[in-house]
Structure 1
Amino acid sequence: MKTLQAGLQFLRSQFMQRQPPRVLKKPPRRRYRSPNPVPRKAIKAPPQPVKSQPPLSFELESSVRMLQQRTKDGWRRLESQASHINRLSTELEAALLELKAIASQVNTDWKTLQKMQHSSTQAIIPNVCEYQITKLPLVQYKPSGVFLLTSRSVDLCKAEREATVLAQVLRRRTRRKRLKR
C-alpha cells in the first residue's frame, strides 16, 4: 500500500512540474504606409429609389387601437374618480359642519348639567370638542391636461365669525337709528 501511495505521489510530482505547451501568437502584420498617404473615399452604394413604407401590419394596428382604447377608457375613469373624490370632499365638509353643530348643542347641554350638579364649585368646564384647521383632498384639472391632487383648508369656525361680524353690524345700525330719533 505504501509503495502504491509513493508511486502516485511520484506521478503527481512529475505531472505538476510539466507545464502545458505554450502556443505563441504571431505578431500582427504591419501594413505598408506610404509617406504621402492618399485619403480614401468611402464607397457609397448607388442610390436606390425610395419605396413607400409598407402599411403597419394587422397585429401592430390592432395593438395601437387597443392601446388607444385603453388610454381613452383610463382617462374617463380618471376623470370620474377625480369628480368622485371632489364630491366626497364636499360631503365630508358638510359632515364636519354637522359634527360641529351637534357638538355645540351637546356642549351647551353638558355645561348646563355640570353647573347644576356642581353648583358650589367654580371650576371651568372644558368644551366637548376642540377644532383645528382641517384640510380636505381636492383634485384639480390644470389647463396643461394634468390632474393635480391637492388639499383645501376647511375653516369650521368661519360661520361663527361671520355671525359675530353680522351681529356687530346689526347692533351698530340699531344704535345709529336710536341716535337719529
Structure 2
Amino acid sequence: MGLKTILLLGITMIILIFTAVNLSNFLYKDLYGVENASPSITTNEPNKVVVLKVGEPITSSNIKIVVEKILRTQKIKGNMGYRKIKDNETFIVVKVKIENLRKNVSYYISNMDFFLLDDKGRKYDCEMNVLDLKHALTITTIPPKESIEGYIIYKIPKDVKVVKICYTFRNIQNIFDSCMAIWEENMSDIPYVDEISP
C-alpha cells in the first residue's frame, strides 16, 4: 500500500467520523428539541441526559466538570466599566471548574461550549462582551492533570423560572461521548447579589 493510499484512507475515515457525529447531533436535536450536549459519566448509554444539582460533578474519560455556583445580578463590572442591561432582563453568572484527567494531552475548553436553557425551552448563548472580567472563562488550554475555574455569563429575561446549564462533551476531543449534562436550578433558589466583578 502506497503512502498516498494510506493518506486517502485516513482522510476518508476522519470525514466519516465527523459525518457520523453531525448526523447523531441532528437526530438528537430532532428527537429531543435541543442540540446534543454530551458528557460520558462512566456510562455507555447513548444520548443519556444527566440532570445534576449545582455542586455535583460529572466525569468523562477526558475531563471532570462541575458547576460550582450560580448567581444572578443586574450589575456586572469589568475592566472596561459596567455592562448595561434592560429592566426586564437579568444576568446569570455561572462558576465552573474543569479538570483535565488526561496524563499527557492538554484539553481545550471555551465558554461557548456551554449553553443555557430555560423552562420554556429557549436557548441562550454566553455573553461575549464580558471577557474583560478578571476570571471570565474564555478559550482555554488545560494542561494534563490540571484544572481551571472561571465564570460564564448569560443574559436572560427576568420571567424565567428555571435555568439549565448544559455542556456538550461530544467534540473533536470526545468523539465517542454522547451524554448530556444539565445543572438545573430554580431562579428562586439562585442568590441575588447587587454587583459582580469576578
Normalised TM-score (structure 2): 0.23
Q: Which has the higher strand share?
A: 2
Structure index of larger Rg: 1
| Higher relative contact order (Cα pairs below 8 Å, separated by 6+ residues) | 2
